[in-house]
Structures are given as C-alpha cells and as structure tokens.
C-alpha cells in the first residue's frame, strides 16, 4: 500500500507541473468541483451559464489557479479549496438508484443523505439498482476524481452469491486468461471461495475496474447467474459491520486525512503568523492553557481514540449514523 502511495504521489507531482503551465479545461475544473459531469458542464458553457474572470466562457477554454469561475449556483476560485473535504459512508440497500434524476421516479440514495448548504454530495462510483453495500460520498470533486479515475486502479471487493458453483477451469479463466465480454475482456485480481449450501454458492471477488455491471456480467458469461451482490470494500474503506442498510455515517477528520493522503492530495495548510506578544496577564494565560489543552508539541491536536479508517468504523469524533 505504501509503495502505491509513493508512486501516486510522484506521478501527480509531474502532472501538476504540466497542468500549471497549460491550465485545465474549464469543464474538468467544474466537474472536479462537484458541479456535475463534464458533459453537463460543456452544455452549461455552451448555454452561456458560466463566466471566467467576468467574461463569458467558451468551449475549449482553459483556466489556471487564481481564475474566478462563476456559475448560476456559486463562484469558485481555481486552485482554492473553499471547504474541508467531507466523506460519508452509506449502506445502500437493494431497490435504490444512484442518481438524482430518474425518469421512473424510483427511490434515490440521495434522498437518504444529510442535507448540505453551499456544497453537494458526489457519489464515488455507482451500484446498480439490485446491488447493495458500500457507497462513498464526498464533497470534494478532486477526491472523487482520484478514487474513480481508471488510472488510479482502486480495488473494489464484492461478496457474490451465484446459482451454481465454479469449476477449476472457470476459476483459472477469471484469474488468468480472462472472460470475454462485449466491451472487452475482464480478469479478476483475486477470487476466494466462501462456501455455500444447496444450489447457492458465495465468492469474494476483488478487481480494479468499475465498468457497468462488470461482476454480474462476468458470472453470467460463465453460466452462473448472480442472485445477490454486495460491495464490502472500496480501496482502503470497508463497509462498517454496524452500519445497517439505509444508514449513513460521516467519517471523522482523521479518517478523511488518511484517505486524502492515500490518494496523494496535499492536506497541509500554511502556518499562521505568530501573534504579537502581550503583557503577561494571569487570566489570559489560563485561557491560553485551556485553548491548547491536549495539543501536541508541534501545535497539532491528537485525534483521540478513533479507529483506523481501514476498518470503516466511524470515530467518536465523526458524525453519528443517520437513518
């Protein structure tokens, strides 16, 4: 895991230098800021709903740090982070759609999430209507992009129940030679037999692809229909055992910091200037001691007895589960 982090960080540094010189496409910046998909942002730009530094934006325009981008919803300064990233875990039940706009008016996972002011929840990946398990939401477009982009190859883990049992030849095929699908071959990174009773059999599947219905389609191509599918892990984030279906829980600051560090997002902040020295007063000293109670020698504060985010459990400093 640490080696992967080092590789990600070094790649991002090289890319960052190139992007500073060239600038990013406007629709990419808007999408990463959580306004919507790149295609939707292109439509906004074409419709005249976006301006850059007070001038109407045009398709193909690039922006650089410091540019002021204004839309009907809000204004952002390129390169600045207006809010600390927030991350929410949701245990999706079957029968909910991961979309804000469904022509069939089915229940949406977004209806179950806590409301935000001035921000929006961005879904990191999707689960189809009949799939349950871990869904991750964030307010950071940059974090969502890094976790979803294929070049970062984030591993997903699923618990799969199929009708029937895989043969040795089928296991070798999915792990080595690959299963041919209409949009290209697929090879699982790992596959574990979890046993079963009667006609149903459970498997644990790990892969680094997020193609639509990829797990279901792979087993169906082998003649093994999937009767139940549940995502239990996404990268270093596990589905917390105590998070029941239909419930959400927000991660604490420490856990979010671990995730940002894992994907190579710099979380450092400039040091504040030292305050001017005032005459020594006992009352002020007492207040200062209280304000810095529990601080480390370097000025940072301990995160307390919070659990490791790899367990997926929220910490006492995080938000309580919501129904």
Beta strands in the chain (DSSP E): 24-25, 51-52, 55-56, 62-63, 68-70, 75-77, 87-92, 122-124, 132-138, 156-163, 179-181, 184-186, 190-195, 200-207, 226-234, 237-238, 248-250
Whether residue 144 contacts residue 138, with contact meaning beta carbons closer than 8 Å, is answered with: yes
Q: Under a CB-based contact definition with an 8 Å cutoff, are residues 56 and 48 in contact?
A: yes
Q: How far is CA 128 from the centre of its chain?
A: 17
Active site (annotated) includes residue 128: yes
Return the DSSP state at 73.
S
Alpha-carbon distance of 56 to 78, in angstroms, equals 16
Q: State the angle between helix axes of 141-148 and 253-263 in degrees (0 to 180), rounded to the nearest 10.
A: 50
Q: How far apart are CA 52 and CA 215, in angstroms?
A: 42
Whether the CB-CB separation of 82 and 67 falls below 8 Å is answered with no
304: closest CA among 264, 267, 255? 255
- Which of 128, 193, 261, 308 does the annotation list as catalytic? 128
Is the CB of residue 248 less than 8 Å from the CB of residue 89? yes
Which of the residues are catalytic? 128
């Amino acid at each position: 895991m640490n080696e992967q982090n080092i590789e990600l960080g070094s790649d991002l540094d090289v890319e960052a230098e190139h992007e500073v010189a060239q600038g990013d496409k406007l629709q990419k910046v808007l999408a990463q800021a959580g306004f919507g998909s790149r295609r939707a942002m292109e439509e906004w730009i074409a419709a005249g709903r976006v301006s850059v530094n007070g001038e109407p934006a045009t398709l193909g325009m690039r922006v650089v740090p410091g540019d002021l981008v204004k839309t009907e919803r809000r204004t952002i300064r390129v390169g600045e982070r207006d809010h600390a990233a927030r991350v929410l875990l949701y245990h999706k039940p079957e029968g909910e759609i991961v979309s804000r706009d469904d022509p069939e008016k089915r229940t949406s996972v977004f209806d179950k999430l806590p409301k935000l002011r001035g921000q929006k929840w961005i879904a990191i990946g999707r689960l189809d209507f009949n799939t349950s398990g871990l869904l991750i939401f964030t307010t950071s477009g940059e974090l969502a992009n890094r976790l979803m982009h294929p070049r970062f190859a984030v591993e997903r883990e699923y618990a799969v129940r199929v009708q029937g049992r895989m043969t040795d030849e089928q296991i070798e095929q999915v792990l080595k030679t690959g299963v041919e699908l209409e949009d290209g071959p697929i090879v699982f990174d790992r596959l574990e037999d979890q046993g079963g009773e009667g006609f149903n059999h459970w498997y644990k599947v790990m892969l680094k692809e997020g193609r639509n219905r990829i797990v279901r389609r792979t087993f169906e191509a082998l003649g093994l229909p999937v009767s139940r599918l549940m995502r239990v892990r996404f990268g270093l984030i596990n589905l917390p055992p105590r998070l029941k279906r239909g419930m959400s829980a927000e991660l604490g600051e420490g856990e979010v910091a671990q995730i940002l560090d894992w994907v190579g997002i710099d979380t450092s902040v400039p040091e504040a200037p030292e305050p001017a020295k005032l005459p020594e007063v006992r009352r002020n000293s007492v207040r200062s001691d209280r304000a810095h109670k529990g601080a480390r020698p370097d000025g940072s504060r301990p995160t307390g007895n919070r659990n490791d985010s790899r367990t997926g459990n929220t910490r006492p400093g995080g938000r309580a589960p919501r129904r």
